[in-house]
Amino acid sequence: MKAEVINPFLESARSVIEQVIQISPSTGSLGVKDIKPEHDHIWIQIGMTGHYSGIVVFGLQETVALRMVSAMMGGFVLTEMDEMGQSAISELGNMISGNASAILSNQGYAVDITPPQVIKTDTAMNDTFPRKALCIPLMMDGIGELDIQVMIS
């Protein structure tokens, strides 16, 4: 795992969240984390190829995702993660990853990203994700926490 790869995703996530959700997230501590299925979580998975190859996963509790989507929709309150909510949270992951790939490109690292895949079911996690990831949490006051997890080979 390469620690320098997470910084563009962190920078991008902070910027996109500030623009789209109108809140300034604070950054937690960088560490290596075991990725395991957790009940009531949503995972936004983005594949990456090129100079760096692997996946980036944004993990958050479903209640946090609902709050983020509600903020993205101008305060319209969602009570369940329906198709529209999944589309919005997927687009948030796409915006963060697209900006991060542009940052990496400006640093001289050519990477391509795949469209985001939203994973809700705990059972899908078992076969989808590697076991360990470089992880950094973003805390959003009044909303909750978003984990940025990078698994790069």
pLDDT at residue 126, rounded to an integer = 53
Domain 3-152 has CATH 3.90.1150.10: no
**pLDDT of 34-66, one tens digit each?**
877 677 899 999 999 999 999 999 999 999 999
Distance of CA 11 to the CA centre of its chain: 12
Distance of CA 14 to the CA centre of its chain: 11
Average pLDDT of every residue of the chain: 88
The answer for residues whose C-beta is within 8 angstroms of residue 26's C-beta and 6 or more apart is 138, 139, 141
Instruction: Provide the whole-model pTM.
Output: 0.88
d(CA 122, CA 125): 6
pLDDT at residue 26, rounded to an integer = 96
Would you say residue 105 has pLDDT above 80? yes
pLDDT at residue 123, rounded to an integer = 47
